[in-house]
Amino acid sequence: MAEDAVALKNKGNDAFKAKDWPGAIEYYTKAIELNDKEPSFFTNRAQANIKLEAYGYAIADATKAIEINPDFIKAYYRRAVANTSILKHSDAIHDWKVVVRKNPADKTAKAQYEACQKMVKRDAFLKAIEIADAPSAAEGLDLENMIVEDSYDGAKLKDEMTQEFIDDMIERFKNGKKLHKKYVFQIILAVKELVYNEATMVETKVAPDHKLTVCGDTHGQYFDLLEIFRLNGFPSEKHGYLFNGDFVDRGSWSCEIALLLYAYKMLFPKFFFLNRGNHETDDMNRMYGFEGECKAKYNERVFKLFSESFSALPLATLIGDKYLTLHGGLFSDDAITLDDIRKLNRHNQRQPGQAGLMMEMLWTDPQTAPGRGPSKRGVGLQFGPDVTKRFCEKNGLEAVIRSHEVRMEGYEVEHDGRCITVFSAPKYCDSTENKGAYINIESDYKLQFNKFDAVPHPDIKPMAYANNGMSSMMGM
């Protein structure tokens, strides 16, 4: 029995090395079923869960390993990483402290402990200075008199966005060049106003001879975004796109993705849609690189304006009265209807917080078991096929389309066809061997699924702009 369990663990390790995280979890789980007294089985599974961003599960596994062996340093390590990843710094700090005490020579753990202490202090500071109606970062920004130097070699932007400007921008970004700050400010401010005036749930139909493409998370993977456009066609008045949140963070071209998507929103405001994701939020941007990237490529004001524009984004899009598209998923209460989403005043609450409708729309995940369960992420909750069925029937929907999670094939149809996940960042973070996908919808409202592979990109690692040690943790 013990030998069989070790053999299964070794198979799990092989799957892990091949970056097949779900396969690794399956083997570790089988090993645990044969022998639930070996802490390393739990810490190995915790690490695979961390790779899948199932931080809640990782915390539970690490805790179990600590119960079996309170001196098992790796378990404290794993739990600290998982808690840090979901911004529970005050929980993480206790485990980092244990690791440093038990293994004072571990420089990475020491750096993490120090970074975590800074995070706890910064969180407290930000909370203390939080102002409900803080002035906009646009105040005092004199765009009209901002000079674009003669030495700037890019296309010029007047009052209206043009296809020529976008074409030039795509090439600039490919070649590692930046936009002039004046244009960056101009684009963000224009889109902030456009999306602020949209409904919390945008409602759109697909006209005859038109097409709408739904994309999931792109996470700063700019070259893979261009691959979608290359394979599937660039946005136009007859070919709309809906990007379902998580444009930024993790990947190191988040500024480029956000600016390109915003430029298309300016050019085609009625055919190009953007839903907010859980990474279009301040605390995630501080942790996962977007704030650092904005500061490195432009300045802090650019980040603050992006932050204001993110909090103005719609939370959902209803396609042809058939498909509710939102980043995370469904709700803790069966009584919620589309009308509740319509009535939600998202402008009263800039950040999603720890509870409520906005948090659930951005954070929840489907599960295979009926009913509702605790979140595998440690944030939000999980909802079963019966929850999805009731919601769709009550609201006259064919399905819910959501993103928020890696799928190895780029998409997955679950809950008897009523819950569809689409994820558009192939080879996610350069460390998961997943495909990307997008969904085309024409006027017959049939879903056409398309998969694609990652393309090469310049040698800049994911999380290159995360300044809090997260990039080093990703390799653990």
Query: 154-166 pLDDT, tens per residue?
Result: 999 999 999 999 9
Percent of the chain with pLDDT over 90: 82
Nearest by Cα to 331 from 380, 368, 402: 380
Nearest by Cα to 382 from 403, 407, 360: 360
Tokens for 71, please give them: 């001196």
Could you give the strand order of the β-sheet that contains 239-244, starting from the edge strand earlier in sequence? 272-275, 239-244, 211-215, 436-442, 447-452
* Cβ-based neighbours of 394, under 8 Å, separated by 6 or more: 334, 337
Distance of alpha carbon 252 from alpha carbon 255, whole angstroms: 8
Please list the active-site residues: 279
Q: What is the pLDDT of residue 450?
A: 98
* Three-state DSSP class for residue 440: strand
CATH number for the domain formed by residue range(s) 163-473: 3.60.21.10
CATH number for the domain formed by residue range(s) 2-129: 1.25.40.10
Nearest by Cα to 253 from 461, 44, 431: 461
Q: Are 360 and 377 in contact (CB under 8 A)?
A: no
Domain boundaries, the chain: 2-129, 163-473
Q: What is the pLDDT of residue 133?
A: 65
Distance of alpha carbon 453 from alpha carbon 17, whole angstroms: 20
DSSP 8-state secondary structure symbol assigned to residue 386? H
| pLDDT for residue 132 is more than 80 | no
Give residue 259's Cα distance to chain centre. 17
Average pLDDT in the chain: 93
Residue 121: C-alpha distances to residues 90, 294, 434 (Å) = 10, 23, 37
- Mean pLDDT for 46-71 is 95
| pLDDT for residue 468 is more than 60 | no
- Write the single-letter amino acid at 227: E
Q: What is the pLDDT of residue 475?
A: 44
Which band of pLDDT confidence, cut at 50, 70 and 90, is reported for residue 403? very high
pLDDT digits (tens, 9 = 90+) for 221-251: 999 999 999 999 999 999 999 999 999 999 9
Q: Do domains 2-129 and 163-473 have the same CATH topology?
A: no
Tokens for 150, please give them: 């003669």
| pLDDT for residue 469 is more than 80 | no
Given the structure tokens 């975590």, which residue do they identify? 116
Nearest by Cα to 126 from 340, 291, 277, 250: 291
Distance of alpha carbon 147 from alpha carbon 459, whole angstroms: 33
Distance of alpha carbon 356 from alpha carbon 302, whole angstroms: 29
Q: Which of 1-5, 281-285, 331-335 has the highest mean pLDDT?
A: 331-335
Tokens for 95, please give them: 């485990």
Q: What is the pLDDT of residue 279?
A: 97
Tokens for 340, please give them: 């509740």
Distance of alpha carbon 76 from alpha carbon 92, whole angstroms: 9
Q: What is the pLDDT of residue 476?
A: 42
